[in-house]
A and B are shown apart, each in its own frame.
Chain A
């Protein structure tokens, strides 16, 4: 990791810093509105549902479902992938969606399915930044025919 990582590295802003501080500690934190009680992602100091500024950071389990996915065969320049890799839209149990990579499973459309359960894992890409990624909860997921 660290000094050899060649992919894009997030640079936090003041409103996103707590998210990246948490992932560095291998914890997933998102925000929740104190007024409408809904969670949201990405980090920002107002609730995108009701525009309340009464919002707070909460730690979540990192469990969710794979809402959708693609398998990219053409990594962007500098991205540290040597073959096809999975980019997913993960829907956390709290209802928010976030992009991530799906790891711990071959990049094969027969082995992936929308709504399959996933859980967070953490990948330290530099000394400062840790990316949340997700893996299937059941490694022996039943393949589907397409």
Chain B
């Protein structure tokens, strides 16, 4: 790669971040209302007006049309890249590119999804002649719970990773959720609780799987220069990366490694100049317990195959030496179906020291990482209070 990506380091900042008014199971709110609430709250957080927004990034079928109409915004730069739940992390990179090119100045990245209640949700469906319908759906796949498991099974076979180690992630994440009043599931959880919960799709028990909730989230990105004039402490984007490798999980290049995550992570670290040891807080997409474990490996926090040992002993829980998913994650806080925006919101709050009892002491640098599709895409972002 010849482009000098390091010149983008610190060129933009996140200046607003917020969820919808409520999170959870919200049959009284449409998906677009969740977008609206999150956007409204993120603008208030940034101290900006709707008229300041000149770019809108969002994900989901036709959402890049729907959101501006609903909010009454006329963006002059539109980003609708849809690669699943990590899309919003990847949108930060796209917003950074557009801002640096002078095509926009204040970018709204917004998500709203009635993932549980399904109020005013688009209804995507594979065509009968799609590749999915020909080569995967006839075998009884039922969404992510089936597809994500293939890598978990192969990882267990290759490295001896155990169900107990997967359960460590769910237990540690629940401990963070207990400290977050907005988290959906806050009751204490033990490893036995996870292992004794009903089997959804071996090797995943119910409590290895994320929640299904309704929620919105939004962040506002602008140039580092503009950020200086705003009321919030800027959270600078030091590095970003993205990659996609497949659509159907059967076409995943490897079932023991996650190539998209490794490639996206390598670029984010290279752009940022930050080392793994410099990361104070990790917000990793946890659709299933195995997903953040693979992120730990592919982003270089441990070696391939060592994530089971890494997460053992509640190392990622409050008080552990690797604070991970400090909002309670998709496993316990909220998971609409596309969780990525919430990794950003929590990273911003941690760096701004707004997290109360779950605040990680001296948090200056955070990493956000997500998956999209079924291990299909990945996006990584490193943010810091210091440029």
Contact = CB atoms under 8 A, between A and B. Distances in A.
Contacts of B255: 67-68, 89
Which DSSP category, helix, strand, loop or mixed, fits chain A's interface? loop
A70 B202 contact: yes
Given A70-B203, A109-B203, A89 B150 contact: yes
Interface of A: 7-13, 16, 42, 67-76, 79, 81, 84-85, 87, 89, 97-101, 109, 113-115, 125, 131, 146
Contacts, number: 113
A77 B134 CA distance: 17
A7 B140 contact: yes
B34 to A, nearest CB: 26
Contacts of A12: 129, 134
Given A68-B154, A72-B146, A97-B251, A10 B138 contact: yes
B128 A99 contact: no
B248 A99 contact: yes
Interface string B142-178: 1101100111011011100001000000000000000
A10 B135 contact: yes
B140 A72 contact: yes
Interface residues of B, number: 38
10 contacts: A10-B133, A42-B134, A69-B153, A70-B149, A71-B199, A74-B142, A75-B140, A75-B142, A76-B142, A89-B249
Contact of B139 (A16, A84, A101): A101
Give the 3 A-B residue pairs with the shortest CB-CB distance, closest first. A70-B149, A71-B202, A114-B157
Contacts of A81: 140
A115 B131 CA distance: 26
B142 A99 contact: no
